[in-house]
C-alpha cells in the first residue's frame, strides 16, 4: 500500500514538473510569429570619425525597400561616415540623412542598396498592452517581452511610450513591435534611469528635408554626413549655394551629383560640376560635363552662356598653360551661340566682357554703351564703359562722366555692393587732381565698407590727404594701413610725415618698427638722421645719414654737407 502511494505521489510530482516546463516553454514562445519575422528588418549601425576611428554603435530598422531606415541620432554626432549591417550580414553605406530630431534622439536616413523593411504601426498601444523588443542577429533575432507602462500622445498623431522593463545599453535603437510585428518605436532609455521608452517610429520616418536652409541648422552641422536634397529644385539649389559658401568641400561634390540625378534637365547641376572640376584643373572633364549638358538640359542657351563663362574665367584667372583647348575665341563663340539661341542682354554683356579682354576696346565700348540703354542698364556696364575709355586714353572728363552714371545707377540707399563704383570715381577724381571731390568719395566708400576696407585703400586716401595738406587725417590713415598690414613701407611713410609735422620722437619709433623687417632700407636711415638733427642730436643724425649714404642713397651727401 505504501509502495502504491509512493508511486502515485511521484507521478503527481512528475506531472507537475512536466507541466511546469511545458508552461515555461509555452511562455517562452508566447510571442506571435510576426514578431520574429520583423527581425529581418533590424540592422546594426556603426559610425566613424574623419580618420576612420570607430565612433559609436547602435541599432535600427529599415522602413522601405530602397534603403530608408530609422535609428537614434546621437551616434551620428561627430561622425564622418557610417555603415549598417543587415540581418543577412550584408553591409550598406549610409548615404544621406533625411531628417533628425535631437530632443527625441531619432533619425531618418537612407543607405545605398535594396533592403528588407518592417511595417510601421498605425495604431497606438495602450497601458498594459504587450510589446516585444526585437534585437539584432544574423540568424534568429532575440526577442524580449515588454509591457506598456504609459503612452503619451504628441503632435496629435504620434505616441511616446514608457515600459515597465529596462532597456540594456547594448539594445538601444532596436525596434519595439506589436503583436502584428509592426514597429511602434525604437528602444531608448530614460535620461536618469535605464527604464525603457520609445519614440513613435512613424515620427522619425516622417522627417524630410524641405528647405535649403536646413544645411545651416545646428543639428546637421553636428555631423559630417550630408543631408538629403529637397525635392523642390529652387530649394535644392539654395542648399548647394549654402554648402559651397560654407566650405563643405567634402560633401559639396556629392551634393552637386545628387542635384544632377534629381534634376537631370536643369543646367545648374552641370554648370556647378564643371566649375568644380575646372577649379581642380580638370578641364577636359569639365568640358565633357558641359557637352553632356548640351544633350540633356532644357535651356540650352543658358548652358552655352555658362560654358562661355567657365572658359572665360579659366583663361583670365588660371595660371595653367597646358590645357590649350579653352581660349577667349572659344569663350566668345559660346557666348555668341547663347545669344543666337536667345537674344538676352546678359549674353551680349558676356560678349562685351570677352571682347574687352581681347583688348578690342572700341568694339567693347560700343557694346557696353548699347547695353546702357537696354533693360540691363546698371552700374556695371557704365563702369566697364569707363574702363574702355581709360584704355583708349580718352580725356578724364569722359571717364568721370561714365563713372558718374555708374554711381547714379546704383540702387538706393547705397550699400557695400555699390562701394566699388564710388571708389572708382574717387580714384578718377584723384588722378585728375580734383582732391576735394575725391576725398568725399573716399569717405563715402569707407562708410559703405563699415571701416573694413583694405590697407591699399587707406594708403590711397592718405596720399590724397597729403595733397590736401590734411596731415592729421593722413597720419590716421597711414597708421590704420600699417595696423591692417604692417609693411615697412607704411611705417617709413608714417615716419616721414611725422617728421614733417615736427614729431621726431614718433618718427623714430615708427622707424624702429620698420627696421625690424627692412634693416637695409636707406629711407629708414635718411629719415632717422633728419629726426635726430631735429632733436639737436647732430652726431647721431650724421651717423644715420652716413649709413644711408653707404646704402646708396644719393640724397644723403648733400644733407651731410648741410648739417656737418
Q: Burial level of 249, CB count in 10 A (0-12/13-18/19+)?
A: exposed
CA nearest neighbour of 105 among 210, 6, 199, 13: 199
SS3 175: strand
Class of 486-563 per CATH?
mainly alpha
Residue 238 contacts by C-beta under 8 Å, 6 or more apart in sequence?
211, 212, 213
Per the CB < 8 A criterion, the answer to whether 55 and 75 are in contact is yes
So what's the pLDDT on residue 22? 33
C-alpha cell at 432: 585728375
Give the ranges where 409-552 is alpha helix by DSSP (H): 419-431, 435-448, 455-467, 471-484, 488-500, 504-517, 522-534, 538-550
Please report which helix (H) or strand (E) contains residue 354, including its range: helix 345-357
| pTM (two decimals) | 0.82
Instruction: Give the total residue count for the chain.
Output: 564
pLDDT at 193: 83
Q: Which residues of 523-537 are buried (b: 16+ CB within 10 A; e: fewer)?
A: bbbbbbbbbbbeeee
pLDDT tens-place values along the chain, 564 residues long = 334 343 434 433 443 333 333 333 333 445 688 999 999 999 999 999 999 999 999 999 999 999 999 999 999 999 999 999 999 999 999 999 999 999 999 999 999 999 999 999 999 999 999 999 999 999 889 999 999 999 999 999 999 999 999 999 999 999 999 999 999 999 999 877 888 999 999 999 999 999 999 999 999 999 999 999 999 999 999 999 999 987 767 899 999 999 999 999 999 999 999 999 999 999 999 999 999 999 999 999 999 999 999 999 999 999 888 999 999 999 999 999 999 999 999 999 999 999 999 999 999 999 999 999 999 999 999 999 999 999 999 999 999 999 999 999 999 999 999 999 999 999 999 999 999 999 999 999 999 999 899 999 999 999 999 999 999 999 999 999 999 999 999 999 999 999 999 999 999 999 999 999 999 999 999 999 999 999 999 999 999 999 999 999 999 999 999 998
Residue 239: its pLDDT value, please?
96
Instruction: Give the closest residue to 82 by CA, choosing from 106, 111, 62.
Output: 111
b/e burial code for range 110-140 (CB count within 10 A of at least 16 → b) = bbeeebbbbbbbeebbeeeeebbbbbbeeee
- Gap between the terminal Cα atoms of the chain: 148
Q: Which CATH architecture has domain 31-228?
A: Beta Barrel (2.40)
Report the distance separating Cα 160 and Cα 511, nearest Å. Answer: 73
Specify the residue for cell string 590736401: 468
pLDDT at position 30, please? Answer: 54
- Provide the phi-psi class of 395: left if phi over 0, else alpha when psi is between -120 and 50, else beta: beta
Q: Which residues lie below 8 Å from residue 346, measured CB to CB, with a gap of 6+?
A: 305, 376
The contacts of residue 174 (CB under 8 Å, 6+ apart) are 42, 59, 61, 133, 134, 135, 136, 186, 187
- pLDDT score at 194: 83
Q: What residues are paired with 56 via a beta bridge?
A: 47
Phi and psi (nearest 5°) for 118?
-100, 170
Partners of 188 in the β-ladder: 197
Cα 526–Cα 529–Cα 530 angle in degrees, nearest 5: 90
359 in the Ramachandran plot: left (φ > 0), alpha (ψ -120 to 50) or beta? left
Amino acid at each position: 500500500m505504501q509502495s502504491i502511494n509512493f508511486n502515485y505521489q511521484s507521478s503527481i510530482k512528475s506531472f507537475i514538473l512536466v507541466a511546469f516546463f511545458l508552461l515555461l516553454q509555452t511562455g517562452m514562445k508566447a510571442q506571435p510569429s510576426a514578431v520574429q519575422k520583423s527581425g529581418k528588418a533590424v540592422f546594426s549601425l556603426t559610425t566613424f570619425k574623419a580618420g576612420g576611428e570607430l565612433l559609436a554603435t547602435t541599432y535600427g530598422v529599415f522602413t522601405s525597400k530602397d534603403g530608408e531606415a530609422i535609428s537614434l541620432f546621437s551616434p551620428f554626432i561627430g561622425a564622418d561616415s557610417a555603415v549598417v549591417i543587415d540581418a543577412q550580414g550584408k553591409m550598406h553605406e549610409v548615404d544621406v540623412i533625411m531628417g533628425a530630431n535631437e530632443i527625441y534622439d531619432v533619425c531618418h536616413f537612407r543607405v545605398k542598396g535594396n533592403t528588407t523593411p518592417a511595417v510601421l504601426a498605425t495604431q497606438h498601444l495602450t497601458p498594459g498592452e504587450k510589446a516585444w523588443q526585437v534585437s539584432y542577429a544574423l540568424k534568429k533575432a532575440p526577442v524580449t517581452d515588454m509591457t506598456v507602462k504609459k503612452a503619451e500622445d504628441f503632435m496629435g498623431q504620434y505616441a511616446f511610450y514608457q515600459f515597465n522593463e529596462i532597456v540594456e545599453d547594448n539594445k538601444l535603437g532596436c525596434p519595439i513591435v506589436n503583436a502584428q510585428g509592426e514597429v511602434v518605436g525604437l528602444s531608448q532609455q530614460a535620461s536618469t534611469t535605464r527604464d525603457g521608452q520609445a519614440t513613435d517610429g512613424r515620427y522619425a520616418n516622417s522627417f524630410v528635408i524641405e528647405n535649403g536652409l536646413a544645411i545651416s541648422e545646428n543639428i546637421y552641422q553636428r555631423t559630417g554626413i550630408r543631408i538629403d536634397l529637397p525635392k523642390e529644385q529652387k530649394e535644392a539649389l539654395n542648399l548647394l549655394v549654402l554648402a559651397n559658401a560654407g566650405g563643405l568641400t567634402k560633401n559639396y561634390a556629392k551634393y552637386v551629383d545628387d542635384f544632377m540625378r534629381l534634376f537631370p534637365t536643369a543646367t545648374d547641376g552641370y554648370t556647378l560640376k564643371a566649375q568644380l572640376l575646372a577649379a581642380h584643373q580638370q578641364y577636359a572633364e569639365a568640358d565633357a560635363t558641359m557637352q553632356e549638358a548640351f544633350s540633356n538640359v532644357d535651356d540650352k542657351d543658358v548652358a552655352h552662356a555658362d560654358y562661355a563663362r567657365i572658359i572665360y574665367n579659366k583663361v583670365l584667372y588660371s595660371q595653367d598653360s597646358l590645357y590649350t583647348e579653352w581660349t577667349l575665341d572659344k569663350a566668345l563663340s559660346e557666348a555668341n551661340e547663347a545669344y543666337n539661341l536667345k537674344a538676352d542682354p546678359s549674353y551680349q554683356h558676356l560678349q562685351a566682357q570677352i571682347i574687352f579682354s581681347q583688348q578690342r576696346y572700341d568694339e567693347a565700348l560700343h557694346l557696353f554703351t548699347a547695353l546702357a540703354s537696354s533693360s540691363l542698364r546698371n552700374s556695371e556696364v557704365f563702369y566697364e564703359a569707363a574702363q574702355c575709355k581709360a584704355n583708349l586714353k580718352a580725356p578724364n572728363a569722359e571717364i568721370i562722366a561714365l563713372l558718374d552714371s555708374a554711381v547714379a545707377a546704383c540702387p538706393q540707399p547705397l550699400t557695400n555692393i555699390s562701394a566699388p563704383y564710388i571708389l572708382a570715381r574717387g580714384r578718377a577724381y584723384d588722378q585728375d587732381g580734383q582732391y576735394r571731390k575725391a576725398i568725399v568719395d573716399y569717405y563715402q566708400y569707407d562708410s559703405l565698407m563699415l571701416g573694413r576696407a583694405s590697407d591699399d585703400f587707406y594708403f590711397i586716401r592718405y596720399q590724397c590727404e597729403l595733397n590736401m595738406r590734411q596731415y592729421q587725417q593722413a597720419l590716421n590713415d597711414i597708421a590704420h594701413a600699417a595696423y591692417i598690414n604692417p609693411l615697412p613701407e607704411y611705417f617709413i611713410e608714417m615716419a616721414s610725415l611725422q617728421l614733417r609735422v615736427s614729431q621726431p620722437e614718433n618718427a623714430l619709433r615708427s622707424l624702429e618698427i620698420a627696421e625690424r623687417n627692412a634693416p637695409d632700407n636707406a629711407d629708414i636711415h635718411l629719415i632717422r638722421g633728419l629726426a635726430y638733427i631735429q632733436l639737436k642730436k647732430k652726431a647721431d643724425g650724421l651717423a644715420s645719414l652716413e649709413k644711408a649714404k653707404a646704402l646708396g642713397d644719393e640724397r644723403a651727401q648733400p644733407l651731410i654737407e648741410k648739417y656737418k
